[in-house]
Amino acid sequence: MTTVDSPEIPLYETLKRQGVRRELAFPEEEYRRRIAAVQASMAERGLDVLVLHNNASTNYVTGYDSHMPPSYAVTVIPASGDPVFNCAELESPVALYHGIVDDIRIFDWTRAENTASDLAGVLSDLGFARGRIGIELSNDENFANGAYDAGSYLRLRALLPEAEIVDATRVVLELRLIKSEAELEYMRIAGTYTWAALQASIAATREGVNENEIAAAAYQGAVTAGSELMSIDPMLITGWRTGLMPHLPYRRHVVERGDLVYMEYSGTHWRYNAPSMRTTVIGEPTARQQQLAEVSIEVLETLIAGARPGRTGHDVAMAAKALWHKVPGVHFHGGYGYAMGMAVQPTWCEQSVYLAEGDERVLRPGQTFHLPINPCYPGEMGVGFSESIVITETGAELLTPGLDRHLVVR
């Protein structure tokens, strides 16, 4: 194969030499505190080194925040000392600008099939070829991502035959579960962006418009208010398709008189989310539509009133579940709340902690949940109303504004 010397200057080395002024969501001391907490957790598990592949967890401990979160980028955290970042050179400007890691090991992004070999080299260079290596091997939540891919895992095992590789999926997730006051403030700000998106969409909703026009208003409202990249694009469903909720994509369907319009959005502030749902109806609602909306709101408000420290997710969910008898024949998915907070595309889900029947995990102050109450009569219609909350010392506090919690007539 013929090769040609490139006249281009190396990107990473040039930027590293020039210096890049950092922009971080939190003071560098906060990230150092988080790394120390991770290392303490590693010690409890007997890990020599932790490899983070979950982009949101890497963001949590280093500040790394890329427009392309699916890209391969890992943080290597030794049992003591400073972390090392391994990424494509194409991502190195992001790592320098949004990140506290000084030791960045780069590779050519056009050779991405060799990332496991590159990581094996980094781990060997750091002295961990025979160590106990923790890697996030699973996606902790159904809609969350971040697991190390199977092909790379097998390749890494082959390249480091004397190492012990163990599943460390929950090491950082457990630390992320309880939010600091600074994190909560970011979520409250995100909640204002969410509300701006909902207000704009509601104002744009009328007979004859299509779903894209309503979604465009949501983007305009959120981004103008200050939102960054949304973790999930606007979820918007209209008409009888609301009976197929909640994950149909919007797609140019025209809104007609009598249609329900379901909206679920979250703005983001430094990658922190605070989702909310609202529903509108074109013209006066039928008695069936109105009743479904009213019971859904009652379920939501029962959850907010019942969520407090010491109760389990099961306790909170069962009190709300008892209300569905008022709307016989309705379907609800059973997830009365799920953990969320800081996340990257394609999800705002954080981890597998729920308000749901059978979930016996005890609620603690600082946990944050989205309460997604979106029942439907299958194939006929559905509605959605939700808020994001934080568990406090005495109960639950809204992270979203919580305004206009009713079926809006347009």
How many percent of the chain have pLDDT more than 70?
97
What are the C-alpha distances in Å from 142 to residues 313, 317, 387? 17, 19, 20
Q: Is the pLDDT of residue 333 over 80?
A: yes
Report residue 72's pLDDT band, with 50, 70 and 90 as the boundaries.
confident
Q: Identify whether 148 is part of a domain.
A: yes
Contact by Cβ (8 Å): 323, 298: yes
Question: How high does pLDDT run on average in the chain?
Answer: 94
State if pTM tops 0.95. no
Q: Is the pLDDT of residue 348 over 90?
A: yes
How many percent of the chain have pLDDT more than 90?
88
Domain range for residue 146? 11-176
State whether 159 and 229 are in the same domain. no
State whether 42 and 159 are in the same domain. yes
**CA angle, 254 as apex, 248 and 256 as ends, to 5°?**
110
Peptide bond into 246 cis (omega under 30): yes
Q: Which of 120, 147, 176 is the last residue of a domain?
A: 176
Residue type, 5: D
Q: What would the pLDDT profile of 12-68 be if each residue is shown by its tens digit?
A: 999 999 999 999 999 999 999 999 999 999 999 999 999 999 999 999 999 999 998
Q: What would the pLDDT profile of 386-405 be if each residue is shown by its tens digit?
A: 999 999 999 999 999 999 99
pLDDT of residue 114: 78
What are the C-alpha distances in Å from 9 to residues 6, 96, 110? 8, 17, 17
Number of other CB atoms surrounding residue 156 within 10 Å: 21
Q: Calculate the dihedral angle through the C-alpha atoms of 334, 242, 302, 305, rounding to the nearest 10 degrees.
A: 100
Q: Which of 159, 176, 193 is the last residue of a domain?
A: 176
For the chain, how many structural domains are there in total? 2
pLDDT of residue 94: 94
Q: Is the pLDDT of residue 409 over 90?
A: yes
State whether 121 and 58 are in the same domain. yes
Q: Identify whether 3 is part of a domain.
A: no
Q: Which of 150, 176, 202 is the last residue of a domain?
A: 176
State whether 60 and 154 are in the same domain. yes
Q: Is the pLDDT of residue 2 over 70?
A: no
Q: Identify whether 70 is part of a domain.
A: yes
